[in-house]
């Protein structure tokens, strides 16, 4: 749909893209409506992703991974999932690959890596990250979950909420206070798994959108966590979160553009078929101008994404840049989905139409991974240095 030629992908990337497209058409799109009713994707879908080599592709070969250190492949998976219009899968699968997995790869002990990474690659182990609490969202320093050093293990107590992949999760990266008196410097990260005694889950939430994405509360009551499940060093958790959140926010931005494109493409088709006053809706000037506005801004967003992906491949995307991407591109997604609903008229408010689901699914993008208000604060901090 773009007039500007994309230049960051080569022939091998496009071959990978086609394999992703084929997989999505066969294994995801036909089941998405069922998953929306079930409030989660199937565990079988995770296994199929693993069987096809689409999970944790950057994992070292020693754990069974492909050791692909080219982020463009990760970006292609995010993009194609978004273009499918299946918002739940477009959020849950990349969270496992590009948000949770890096914590374990970068900060996990050798024992933890050997225990969890092979299952994350195969799809036998589904992962989540648990930061948000009932009283602490974007302000991570305010978390109240605690981890007490008991000598040969840590004892974790507390709760987390709004956890993406939470209900299906086998492995969860959890932020907890090892020293509540130290604020951000008292936060540490741990790997918990569902088999640990005292670890329980709430039922999936009834959300406005993302119905195929399992989101729930997690509860920790005297959970004994072995020392080898500490990620990195004690008290360094907040620093690790700030480091890895840059990629998380970039992933959210990449998904936002692709999901917006999906809504736009379905609207392009609809306005050419829908008749009013004896002609296609696409013949009216207002419709044509709206399409032109959306098309131009989406092309701008896509080129911006490509530049960021290229920079991230060279490890040059800093937190402020990622915050800008998350802020601008999720705002774009919400605006496009709203305009697309309007062009559908009353049908745009019917759940059977993809644009209705796109509209409902888009709204939370401006909230999680740090609210867009927090993104603005992170952007301006760099400007005022």
Catalytic residues: 248
Structure tokens at 356: 């209705």
Which residues lie below 8 Å from residue 137, measured CB to CB, with a gap of 6+?
162, 371
Q: Give the separation between CA 109 and CA 228, rounded to whole angstroms.
A: 6
Residue corresponding to tokens 């801004």: 297
Q: Give the separation between CA 120 and CA 295, rounded to whole angstroms.
A: 38
The sign of the dihedral angle between the CA atoms of 18, 20, 23, 27 is negative
C-beta separation of 40 from 212 below 8 A = yes
Q: Give the separation between CA 240 and CA 231, rounded to whole angstroms.
A: 9
């Amino acid at each position: 749909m773009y007039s500007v030629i994309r230049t960051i992908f080569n022939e091998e990337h496009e071959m990978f893209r086609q394999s992703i497209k084929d997989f999505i058409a066969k294994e995801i799109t036909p089941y998405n409506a069922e998953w929306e009713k079930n409030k989660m994707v199937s565990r079988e879908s995770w296994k199929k992703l693993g069987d096809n080599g689409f999970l944790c592709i950057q994992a070292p070969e020693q754990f069974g991974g492909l050791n692909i250190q080219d982020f463009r492949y990760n970006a292609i998976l995010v993009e194609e999932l978004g273009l499918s219009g299946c918002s739940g899968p477009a959020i849950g699968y990349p969270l496992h690959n590009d948000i949770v997995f890096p914590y374990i790869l970068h900060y996990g002990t050798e024992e933890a890596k050997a225990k969890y990474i092979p299952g994350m690659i195969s799809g036998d182990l589904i992962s989540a990250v648990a930061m948000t609490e009932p009283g602490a969202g974007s302000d991570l320093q305010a978390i109240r979950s605690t981890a007490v050093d008991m000598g040969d293990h840590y004892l974790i107590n507390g709760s987390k909420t709004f956890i993406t992949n939470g209900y299906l999760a086998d492995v969860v990266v959890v932020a907890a206070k090892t020293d509540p008196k130290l604020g951000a410097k008292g936060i540490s990260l741990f790997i918990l798994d569902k088999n640990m005694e005292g670890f329980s889950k709430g039922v999936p939430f009834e959300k406005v959108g993302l119905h195929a994405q399992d989101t729930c509360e997690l509860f920790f009551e005297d959970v004994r966590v072995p020392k080898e499940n500490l990620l990195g060093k004690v008290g360094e958790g907040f620093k690790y979160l700030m480091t890895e959140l840059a990629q998380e926010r970039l992933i959210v931005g990449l998904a936002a553009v692709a999901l917006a494109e999906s809504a736009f493409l379905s609207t392009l088709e609809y306005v050419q078929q829908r008749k009013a006053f004896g002609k296609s809706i696409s013949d009216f000037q207002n419709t044509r101008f709206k399409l032109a506005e959306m098309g131009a801004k989406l092309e701008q967003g896509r080129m911006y994404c490509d530049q960021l992906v290229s920079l991230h491949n060279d490890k040059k995307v800093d937190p402020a840049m990622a915050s800008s991407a998350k802020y601008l591109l999720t705002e774009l997604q919400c605006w496009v989905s709203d305009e697309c609903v309007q062009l559908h008229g009353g049908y745009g408010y019917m759940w059977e139409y993809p644009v209705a689901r796109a509209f409902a699914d888009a709204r939370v993008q401006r909230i999680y991974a740090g609210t867009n208000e927090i993104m603005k604060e992170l952007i301006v901090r760099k400007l005022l240095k």
